[in-house]
Amino acid sequence: MTPLLYVPVVLSALLLAAHFFRAGHVVVVVVCLALLAVLPIRRRWAGLVVQFALAIGALEWARTLAVFAAARASRGEPYGRLVIILGSVALFTGLSALIFSTPRFRRIYPPARSRSAQGS
């Protein structure tokens, strides 16, 4: 069941990669795809990196929504469907970031033990 928990995270990273690829930002595409390589690392920092990147990705979707909707509105074109689609993608990406705050993911990406707990 645990692999299914990663589906929203992987899908969000791939959608972000596609978004930046379409915009011609190849370096950011590589960063989005690199997030997938970080997922198998069971360290707290890895979970935080992916969570942070997805949170930034949700903000990018919201920014894109605002820019595209404003452009369409200024031209008098309909923008309701655009708001629904990009708003849904932003929400999905944001919720994917929140997955790392669940108890199950906290067990997968545990915090490092303190020095006193290690006996040093």
pTM attached to this predicted model: 0.89
120 pLDDT tier (thresholds 50, 70, 90): very low
Looking at residue 1, its pLDDT comes to 56
Model confidence pLDDT, tens digit, residues 78-112: 999 999 999 999 999 999 999 999 999 999 999 87
Burial class (CB in 10 A: 0-12, 13-18, 19+), 111: exposed
Position with higher pLDDT, 113 vs 58: 58
Model confidence pLDDT, tens digit, residues 16-64: 999 999 999 999 999 999 999 999 999 999 999 999 999 999 999 999 9
Other beta carbons less than 10 A from residue 11's beta carbon:
13
φ/ψ region of 50 (left if φ > 0, alpha if ψ in -120 to 50, else beta) reads alpha
First-last CA distance in the chain: 37
3 pLDDT tier (thresholds 50, 70, 90): confident
Position with higher pLDDT, 56 vs 5: 56
Tokens of 83: 């708001």
Looking at residue 115, its pLDDT comes to 47
Q: Are 49 and 4 in contact (CB under 8 A)?
A: no
Residue 5: which H helix or E strand, with range? helix 2-5
